[in-house]
Every structure is written in C-alpha cells, then in structure tokens.
C-alpha cells in the first residue's frame, strides 16, 4: 500500500546519528549509505514543509545520569566520560539544521525529554523514525510513539544495528505491530 501523509503535520525523527553510534560496525546498512539516505529523506521532507528532529545520546560528566541497574550486558562507555567528538552529530545530518535536537540518556527519545510536548505544539500527527540502533533506540521510540497515539512509520533503510539479525528481527517481528514499516523511497515519493 502506498504511503500517504501530510508533510506539514509530519516529523522525521532520526535516532542518534552521531559519531559514537555510527563509528560502530553497523549492519545491514553501513554508515555512508545510511547517512546518504538520511540526508536525502530529510531534504525531501523539509522541502515539502515537514519538521526535522534529531536525537543524540549523551551523559553528564562522570555518567551521573546513566542508568545503572544490574544487567547481563553492560553498556560499554569510555572511562572518564564521553568525548565531545563521539557526541557530535554526523556533519551531513548536522548541516541540515533540524528544527529540534534532543539529548536523551536512555534508548527512547520520548522518556525524559520534551519530544511529546514539541510534537504536540507543532501539531505533528505522523512521526517517521529512523536511526541507530534499530532494535534499541528506534524500536523503543516507535513503541512509545504508538503508546502516545502518533501515526508511526519506521523507515527501514534509515535504520541499522549491531548485527543484521538484530535489525531484521525488530523490523520483521516487532515494529510492524506498532508502526508501518516503509523504505526511504516510499517516504520521498509521499513528499512529492
């Protein structure tokens, strides 16, 4: 089914397109093609009158605001704090100057941020989501968007994860239950 939305009430939210996450060996889409499609999609939505939002993951000095509950796989962060360069957005994404850049301290871009408030004040009804990592930040944010009653579209080829299997399971088994899953070509086409 073709994708249709009103760009004026639509936002594209990119989860963590920053040097830290993009510097990892992401799959199935490597950094260069992922960023190229992100930028193309961002420009198409902006030209059609849509809103661009970017989140980035960051922590306070000494990781004072990092979640520290006992888990089997601990988040690996550098001793002494996250370098500024790791927190910086990819230059091509940053150059498009999103209307809103959020800092988050957990997977979802909704929890503990002003995302919902900003979407409602801008009269956003449709939320397009892409980013890194598919099965962590993207999936958590899409679940929250669904719970907040936004029409949610996960843009599959704007997402990547640590392994192909992690990406595929989320895209094929989880996200279709809380969103529509479409390609960036579908989004760009709907903008025209």
Considering only CA atoms, which of 113, 192, 130 is closest in space to residue 167? 130
The confidence score (pLDDT) of residue 27 equals 98
The confidence score (pLDDT) of residue 65 equals 76
- Report the b/e string of 160-184 with b at 16+ CB within 10 A: bbbbeebbbbbbeebbeebbbbbeb
The confidence score (pLDDT) of residue 74 equals 79
Count the Cβ atoms, other than its own, within 10 Å of residue 64: 9
Do 19 and 88 touch, CB atoms closer than 8 A?
Answer: yes
Q: Which DSSP helix (H) or strand (E) runs through 189?
A: helix 184-190
Consecutive 10-residue runs of the chain (192 residues): their mean pLDDT? 94 97 96 98 98 92 79 80 88 98 96 97 98 98 98 98 98 98 98 92
The confidence score (pLDDT) of residue 80 equals 76
The confidence score (pLDDT) of residue 69 equals 85
- CATH code at 7-190: 3.40.50.850
Instruction: Using a cut of 0.85, tell me whether the model's pTM lies above it.
Output: yes
CA 93 – CA 17 distance, rounded (Å)? 7
The confidence score (pLDDT) of residue 92 equals 98
Tell me the sheet residues that pair with 54.
14, 101
The confidence score (pLDDT) of residue 189 equals 97
Do 135 and 161 touch, CB atoms closer than 8 A?
Answer: yes
Tokens of 68: 């520290």
Domain boundaries, the chain: 7-190
């Amino acid at each position: 089914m073709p994708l249709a939305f009103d760009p004026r009430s639509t936002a594209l939210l990119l989860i963590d397109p920053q040097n830290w996450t993009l510097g990892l060996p992401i799959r199935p889409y490597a950094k260069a093609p992922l960023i190229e499609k992100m930028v193309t999609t961002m420009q198409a939505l902006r030209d059609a009158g849509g809103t661009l939002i970017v989140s980035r993951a960051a922590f306070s000095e000494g990781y004072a605001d990092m979640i520290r509950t006992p888990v089997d796989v601990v988040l690996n962060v550098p001793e002494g704090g996250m370098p500024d360069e790791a927190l910086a957005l990819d230059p091509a994404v940053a150059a498009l100057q999103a209307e809103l850049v959020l800092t988050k301290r957990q997977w979802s871009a909704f929890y503990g941020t002003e995302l919902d408030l900003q979407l409602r004040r801008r009269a956003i009804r449709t939320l397009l989501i892409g980013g890194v990592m598919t099965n962590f930040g993207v999936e958590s944010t899409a679940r929250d968007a669904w719970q907040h009653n936004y029409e949610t579209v996960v843009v599959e080829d704007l997402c990547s994860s640590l392994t192909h299997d992690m990406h595929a399971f989320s895209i094929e088994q989880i996200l279709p239950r809380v969103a529509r899953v479409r390609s960036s070509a579908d989004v760009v086409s709907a903008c025209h």
